[in-house]
Every structure is written in C-alpha cells, then in structure tokens.
Chain A
C-alpha cells in the first residue's frame, strides 16, 4: 500500500511527487507523494503544524515547493504561465481554514465577486441566480444581505465554501472545514461536502483533524507523518496499525 499505487481505471487529477518544502531550517514537507483521483473525496490527516495547509497552498499555487513536482489537471502548477495559472484556478476551488471572507462586502457581494470578475458577459439576472443557487446549496439563503462579521463561524465556513462553488470547480480543496464547530454543524458540513461531490461531480481534498468527518466523507484517507504520506488507504486500512504516531488520533476520537 503506497501513496501512488496504480489504479488503472482511475484518472488522476492531482499528482504530487517527492515534494519538499522548508521554511528557514524547518523542513515541513520532506518528499510527499499523493494522488487524487477523479470523483473521490480524499481526506488528509496530520498533526497541527505538519504542513497540511502548506501542501494545499502549493497545489493552489499560493506557495511554491522547493523541489518535486505538483501536477493539477495535468499541468505543473509552478511552471505554467500566469495566464494558464488563472485558467487553472478557475477549475480548482479553495476553502480557507479561516474562511477568508471579504469583510468589507456583504454575503451577496462576496459570492458574486469571483463571477463578476471572471465572466464579464453575465447578466445581472444570471449572476443573481447563480448566487442564490449556491447559497441555497449551503442552506444560508437568509444571510444574503448580511456582512461577514454578523455571521457565526460555521456560517462563515459555509459561505466560504459557497463562494468557491460558484465557479463550479472540478476540484475542491477544503482546509479544515469542521475545525472549531459544534458536532451538529460538523455533521451539516460533512453532509454538505458529500452533497457537493454528488451535485457538482467534484474531486476533493479535505484536510481535517476530525476523524468522524474523515470517516463520513472520505473515500480514502492519507496521513501526513513527518513530512510525507506514510499511510494512505481506506479509513480502516490507515488505522489498522500500532504506530504510536497514528493510534492516538483514533483513540482520542473513538475511545472514551
């Protein structure tokens, strides 16, 4: 069982090979390998500070790896031109750990922003329809005229997800979608992630600490340990181990 095991009949949409990244003399990623297949939800687990956010920022081209290759939809993110990167980014949605809503704009303006700026030929009615449709998909139609500061953490997360969905991406990258939320809201977000997969046919990477979430949404699980993905597979496969770095995750979540 390795991270890059061949699945002959599955198309790879993200392929990460031997990626290394350091900040100063701290080696965060030390040769990470990972594949995301079309149509799957891949959960990435790992302790705080192991570089999970760094990894998906590299995938989205916000950071650049020191070495190794990152291919998204067949294109090397760090090598393509600015124009191609913009095109690629339209196909990849990124939901931030802290939601990153534009706090000077209403919810409506937040959602419209990527659309208005990318597709100049849309009519007002089309924009409104798209906005309301994604807002409905996350169940927050009533907040449309509110400011982000008036929303709860869970609502902000969902608006953040809606804002990335509006461009109908093929790939979704979720950074800790359920962190800091109550169990019921977590379940709602988990359901939302699954719904997004069904409704928009996305392939997703979901970063989380929350094993319930991992079990609920993950088709596969990858565990980031000491800078590389040592354990990748189904939920049961990954946790069928005595590794002292892995067991506490499971024990904390499922044993009282």
Chain B
C-alpha cells in the first residue's frame, strides 16, 4: 500500500519533470486532444442534453410551489455549470477515455512495445504519458463548457414546451446568475478532473502486469479508480468553493 503510494508519487513527479523539459510533443498532444474529444463528444452531447431537459422538468414543480418558475433558467444554468457539467463530463471521460488509455498503454506494455521504445532511446514516458495527460487536462475543461451549453439547450427545450420565452432571453437570464467565481471554480475543477483521469489511465496502463489479463485489469481499474477520485475531488472542491462564497 505504502509502496504503491510511493510509486504513484514517483510517477506524478516524473510527469512534471518530463512535461517541463523540452522538447515538447505539440503534435502528439493535439492528436490526443482530438482523440479525447472525438471519443466522448457524441455521448456527452446526448447525456448533457438529456440532463438539461430532465433537470428543468424535475425542478419546475418545486419552484412552482413558491411561484418562482421564472427562476428556472438561472437554476438550470447554475446547477449545470457548478456541478452537473463538470461531474458528467468527468465521469463519461473516465469511462470512455480513461479506460481506453489504460487498455492502450496496457497492451503496449504487455507486448513489450514500451520496452521497445525504451531501448531505441525514444523516451516512451514523454511520448505516451505526458502527451495523454496534457491532452485530457486540456480537453476535459473544454468539454465541460460544451456540456454545460448543451445542457442549457436541453433546459430551453423543456421550458419552451410550457411557456413562451425567446432563446436569447433564456440564455441571458441563465447566464446572469452565473458569477466569475462559478466559472473559475468549474474550470479549475475540470482541469483537476482531466489531470486525474489522464494520470490514472496512464499509471494503470504503464504499470500493468504481464499477460492479456493485465490489459483488462488496467482498463478496468482506470475507470473505477478514476471515477472514485473524481467524486472525492468534487466533494473537496465543493467545500473549498463554499469557503470562498461565504
């Protein structure tokens, strides 16, 4: 257990050392960003949209009790941006991207492709790990804002079905209630989530044990551990932002 923690620590330390040292893997990072976006875009669009619809629909009765249905756009906006979008995006990415990173690096490890890079002096850590972790760290925040936007669309669909509001007033009211603190804290949170998902996937894959069984295990634990950490970070982040709000 402590040995494992030490190894994780070493792995993260190595990441920062390699990430800072030139040369930079610009093209590979871009390629990986594209992979991350491409893999999760369809699913994220769908879930984001549905979440928007469902959330607006479920919240309406409670607001109606206080005669405050006009608050619905703000509520949808705040809920999406503060929690739903970052969490949804991170969980879906942990499932889609984390597992595929774990499986990909795991099978490269098992078939000695990583060793082959090592002996041909090509720094596999930098090429494989640094580029992937940076890619998730960059793309997941972008995807998060995309999810929030799609969710707002879903919310709008629900709201127009029962009252007539124009899209621009809807967007305006929902954005009005969003503060600078909301945006910063969500961005930071999404960066942390992205880093976590990339790191966990890479760590599991890069250190997967020999045999095909090892690949499955790496992919599986990338998802399980990734999601678990995302929830823990969400709880901590919520506590911290509350400190700022009060």
Do A and B interact?
yes
User: Which B residues touch A98, using CB under 8 A?
Assistant: 111-112
CB-based contact A90/B115 at 8 Å: no
CB-based contact B112/A89 at 8 Å: no
CB-based contact A117/B119 at 8 Å: no
B165 at the interface (CB under 8 A from A): no
CB-based contact A100/B115 at 8 Å: yes
CB-based contact A94/B121 at 8 Å: no
Query: How many B residues touch A, CB cutoff 8 Å?
Result: 16
CA distance A87 to B122 in the complex (A): 11
Closest to A167 in B: B120
For the complex with contacts A94-B120, A100-B116, A113-B120, 15 further pairs of A-B residues with Cβ separation under 8 Å are: A89-B119, A89-B121, A94-B116, A94-B119, A96-B116, A98-B112, A100-B112, A100-B113, A101-B113, A102-B116, A114-B120, A117-B123, A118-B120, A118-B122, A167-B121
B176 at the interface (CB under 8 A from A): no
CA distance A90 to B122 in the complex (A): 9
A92 at the interface (CB under 8 A from B): yes
Complex interface residues of chain B between 171 and 197 (CB less than 8 A to chain A): none
Known: A100-B112, A103-B113. A120 touches B23 (CB 8 A): yes
Nearest CB in chain B: distance from A38 CB, A: 20
CA distance A87 to B119 in the complex (A): 10
CA distance A101 to B121 in the complex (A): 15
**4 nearest A-B residue pairs (beta carbon):** A114-B120, A100-B116, A94-B119, A100-B112
CA distance A40 to B23 in the complex (A): 37
Nearest CB in chain A: distance from B36 CB, A: 16
Complex interface residues of chain A between 78 and 93 (CB less than 8 A to chain B): 86-87, 89-90, 92-93
A163 at the interface (CB under 8 A from B): yes
Mind listing 24 A-B residue pairs with CB under 8 Å?
A: A60-B119, A61-B119, A86-B121, A86-B123, A87-B121, A89-B120, A90-B121, A94-B116, A96-B116, A98-B111, A100-B111, A100-B116, A101-B113, A102-B113, A102-B117, A103-B113, A114-B121, A114-B122, A117-B122, A118-B120, A118-B121, A164-B120, A167-B120, A167-B121
A122 at the interface (CB under 8 A from B): no
A151-173 CB mask vs B (1 if < 8 Å, else 0) is 00000000000011001000000
Q: Give me the interface of B with A, judged by CB distance under 8 Å.
A: 23, 104, 108, 111-113, 115-123, 127
A181 at the interface (CB under 8 A from B): no
Closest to B118 in A: A62
User: Which B residues touch A117, using CB under 8 A?
Assistant: 122-123, 127
CA distance A57 to B114 in the complex (A): 13
Known: A117-B127, A120-B23. A103 touches B122 (CB 8 A): no
Nearest CB in chain A: distance from B3 CB, A: 16
Known: A96-B112, A100-B111, A100-B113. A62 touches B120 (CB 8 A): no
Complex interface residues of chain A between 51 and 93 (CB less than 8 A to chain B): 57, 60-62, 86-87, 89-90, 92-93
Contact-residue bracket for chain A: 20 to 34
Known: A117-B127, A120-B23. A163 touches B112 (CB 8 A): no
CB-based contact B122/A62 at 8 Å: no
CB-based contact A96/B115 at 8 Å: yes
User: Which B residues touch A93, using CB under 8 A?
Assistant: 119
Nearest CB in chain B: distance from A193 CB, A: 18
Nearest CB in chain B: distance from A56 CB, A: 10
Point out the residue from A94, A96, A101, A113 that lies within 8 Å of B122, measured CB to CB.
Answer: A113
CA distance A197 to B90 in the complex (A): 54
User: Which A residues touch B118, using CB under 8 A?
Assistant: 62, 89
CA distance A128 to B111 in the complex (A): 27
Nearest CB in chain A: distance from B160 CB, A: 46
Closest to B119 in A: A94
User: Which B residues touch A118, using CB under 8 A?
Assistant: 120-122
Nearest CB in chain A: distance from B215 CB, A: 13
User: Which A residues touch B108, using CB under 8 A?
Assistant: 102
CA distance A100 to B118 in the complex (A): 12
User: Which A residues touch B113, using CB under 8 A?
Assistant: 100-103
CA distance A41 to B108 in the complex (A): 30
User: Which B residues touch A89, using CB under 8 A?
Assistant: 118-121
User: Which A residues touch B116, using CB under 8 A?
Assistant: 94, 96, 100-102, 163
Known: A98-B111, A100-B112. A92 touches B119 (CB 8 A): yes
CA distance A98 to B116 in the complex (A): 11
Nearest CB in chain B: distance from A87 CB, A: 8
CA distance A61 to B116 in the complex (A): 12
